[in-house]
Structure 1
């Protein structure tokens, strides 16, 4: 699930001048040291078993003095310091957030601060390089042609294609001790809009959608591997039967040589460990991940609370859900979504700084496998 909006673009020629004039990239000479690895269907950290928990905190790179932002600003040391060591946080590392809104030049400072703060607190982060629905980017869904060739040819924020942004990001942060890998696109699906609203109910799903996604991950994931050495590539798939990954298509796409970790997003089944049906449910996705020998992480677990349910009840439902998922064979659990300014008077997915889910993350992170 995503929520965001924005856009600006610059020409390639200008971009090259900007890059030359901006502060130099960190020294990334030599092979990167990837702390996070995959051992069959499990994750490892520094060579030891690792079953992480944490949050989706998409707005960590927001800095209203520099970029157009994506949500509210977060005190990074407060956030990472409130988590147990070696937790996992997934956040947006979009090209749009690397643009100085005042000058149009590249400004990596807010993103650098996320990696630095995570490292100071012995935390791991999973950056997402683009949004399938275009949120906090152009606001437009990435359709079939984008996955076929547009990721290499379409100019977006900063005058860059997605391929150029992926190269820029991986080269800059691949040696960070906080890096858990790369998620190329959040919730990718190669559907086609049929009207201006592009509502999911009216989109077309071409018959070659699974092959399109598989080819995209073979190419883009392979490119990420070459750029980032041993860094893992996470699929970002929602896993609920979306275009290109319905039923057995999920396993076909997940078998891509460009992917190391498979994903599932869990909404609408409060307290139920293994939601969904026999074709697209979590139990089937776990089976398919085992069949291709890769970890399956539930990296978005969302449940409304606030005016509709107490925070304590939500945390209890989360605990029941994740305990069952872990026993069934999942490799991680992240909760949607941390925000510094939760709307307690409304019924939302917001998880604020004082939410009891933080205590749950502590329990899950320290619990034996």
Structure 2
């Protein structure tokens, strides 16, 4: 994913943006009940019934080139959601950058409103991700140790908003959507210190207090979110593979934040293997740690290349083998990375296009109990 730099603006601009968000662009009144999705030690529930969802990561759903700078190609929302089995789960980017009208600079929620409305029309559920740890499709700046310590409250980003201000704005606006499965505050958070201006992973330093700072972020930012949406479900967004701040037992310590309802694991590089990773940071260990905490573990990114290097059918077969084993071991979801409306069959990519057999697999896997 691309990397850019967070744009700092004055606090005055931030206050003006909030005024716009609260007065000029009021949140829509939605009469649907909130908190349709809940989490227990045994897994997820939808409307009080056991729910084991599969689905896709479709990060670019809020792209609208007539309004925002976008993140990838535009998606026909009704076609996308209609192609999924009912009660499937989609994870997408709900970044402040995508709420800025590229012509006026003002906040414009129309592309995001359209995603929630289309999902609701087709009886689908979504997880909006409010920011990217790597800064992809935002400013491109890696969110480092300092950001999780204080920057989420002080650094001005897109729309003249801090992350805290954007989180409050987004949660207040969409908390009652019937399509909402909960909130992911940051995708793949990692509390490293940048070793140089590029902040490439090779130069990052993991400080001794990395886990403490990340746990403090979830405690404090989670408290802010829950003051706006009291019982809203928060998904951790953790990659789970031993990243800075969540390596080994730190994953359990950070996941113990009382504001986190669902833990995460992202699965790449082990095609067809149900439980990848080692004894310290593998999926089996994450499932064990989740059980200790009484929280389900969601595998919310499963990526395998296809196109010029393998057939989509073979990838779907490998996905099925992998998820069958993961589900038997106790996971709570399986989301496949990533849907794009314009797949590149002549290249070796993670692209999942509109006609990919992964859609049939999602339908087979998704269940809602009695």
Aligned to 2:163: 162
Cα distance change on mapping 1:204 and 1:25 into 2, 3 Å: same
Structure 2 distance, partners of 1:141, 1:300, is 20
Aligned to 2:260: 259
Aligned to 1:268: 269
CA contact (8 A) 1:147 1:212 kept: yes
Structure 2 distance, partners of 1:96, 1:265, is 24
Write the mapping of 1:111-122 to structure 2, written as runs, cut at 5 A: 111-122=112-123
Aligned to 1:199: 200
Cα distance change on mapping 1:5 and 1:65 into 2, 3 Å: farther
Aligned to 2:310: 309
Cα distance change on mapping 1:4 and 1:365 into 2, 3 Å: farther
- The alpha-carbon deviation at position 239 of structure 1 amounts to 0.1
Structure 2 distance, partners of 1:285, 1:340, is 33
Aligned to 1:36: 37
Structure 2 distance, partners of 1:154, 1:8, is 9
Aligned to 1:283: 284
Q: Deviations over 1:238-280 (max 9, x none)?
A: 0000000000000000011121100000000000000000000
1:14 paired residue among 16, 23, 27:
16
Aligned to 2:140: 139
Structure 1 distance, partners of 2:62, 2:3, is 13
Cα distance change on mapping 1:273 and 1:3 into 2, 3 Å: farther
What stretches of structure 1 of length at least 5 have no aligned partner? none
Structure 2 distance, partners of 1:256, 1:17, is 32
- The alpha-carbon deviation at position 26 of structure 1 amounts to 1.4
Cα distance change on mapping 1:98 and 1:193 into 2, 3 Å: same
Structure 2 distance, partners of 1:211, 1:41, is 28
Cα distance change on mapping 1:264 and 1:13 into 2, 3 Å: closer
- SS for the counterpart of 2:302 is strand
- SS for the counterpart of 1:114 is helix
- The alpha-carbon deviation at position 13 of structure 1 amounts to 4.4
Cα distance change on mapping 1:305 and 1:13 into 2, 3 Å: same
Q: Deviations over 1:67-101 (max 9, x none)?
A: 00000000000000000000000000000000000
Aligned to 1:230: 231
Structure 2 distance, partners of 1:149, 1:6, is 17
CA contact (8 A) 2:219 2:257 kept: yes
Structure 1 distance, partners of 2:169, 2:93, is 15
Aligned to 1:148: 149
Tell me if 1:66 matches 2:97: no
CA contact (8 A) 1:306 1:344 kept: yes
What TM-score, normalized to structure 2? 0.96
What stretches of structure 2 of length at least 5 have no aligned partner? none
- The alpha-carbon deviation at position 18 of structure 1 amounts to 3.1
CA contact (8 A) 1:9 1:158 kept: no
Tell me if 1:54 matches 2:55: yes
